[in-house]
Amino acid sequence: MRYREYDGVLEDWKVRLMVSRARRLGFRPHEIDDALQEIVLDVLAFRFDRARSNGATEATALTAVIDKRLRMVRRAWRRYQQLVARFRADRGVDEARDRWPEPVEDETELMAMDVREAVARLPLPQRRLCKSLVREGSLARIARRDRCGWHTVRRSVENLRRRLAGLKGWVI
């Protein structure tokens, strides 16, 4: 199968590496082009630093970057399929005939469900932090209100981002 070419943008060995890693991680042939589009920007942004490589080659370091991003893509696709299944169940879709009672025109509604569910599962302090970020919008204001240092608030926000990492595009 012929995959998208990135002439002048990426070296051929990097494209071949991305394709081989996608195959190894279980992507089907018809999924590989879409997966490559998802990870190509990360590969372009990758800069190999031999001094910090701890003896690894550029290919080894790039493999780690590619694998991490491909796993994220796979999780996002699975999560999307789960959301669609949940949405269908909520809307009363006849699974036997696989018909929608009304078309879904916007992915925003599905993502909003995902965000609400993720925030609802957070512990109470992190839910409060989410509300504070929406209301206050500034780490300094939140720190003043909570009578703590802004470094503490920043660290809490970083932890929150890690917990909500799967909602990329919705959580900054």
The residue out of 88, 105, 122 marking a domain boundary is: 105
Q: Tens digits of per-residue pLDDT, 82-110?
A: 888 888 777 765 555 555 445 445 566 66
**Beta-carbon neighbour count of residue 82 at 10 Å?**
11
Q: Tens digits of per-residue pLDDT, 68-85?
A: 999 999 998 889 888 888
98: left (phi over 0), alpha (psi -120 to 50) or beta: left
Name the one residue in this structure whose structure tokens are 């199968």: 1
**Beta-carbon neighbour count of residue 142 at 10 Å?**
22
* Residue 124 belongs to domain spanning: 106-172
Determine the length of the chain. Answer: 172
Residues 92 and 7 in one domain: yes
Residues 124 and 138 in one domain: yes
Q: Which two tokens stand for residue 162?
A: 């890690």
Amino acid 71: pLDDT: 92
Residues 23 and 96 in one domain: yes
The residue out of 82, 105, 128 marking a domain boundary is: 105
Residues 100 and 115 in one domain: no
Residues 67 and 113 in one domain: no
pTM metric for this prediction: 0.50
Q: How deeply is 128 buried, as exposed, middle or buried, from its count of CB atoms within 10 A (0-12, 13-18, 19+)?
A: middle
The residue out of 54, 88, 105 marking a domain boundary is: 105
Query: What is the count of structural domains for the chain?
Result: 2
Give the DSSP per-residue string, 127-158: HHHHHHHHHT--HHHHHHHHTS-HHHHHHHHH
Residues 9 and 77 in one domain: yes
Residues 94 and 28 in one domain: yes
Element (H, E) at 33: helix 29-45
Amino acid at 16: R
Q: Tens digits of per-residue pLDDT, 36-55?
A: 888 888 899 988 888 887 88
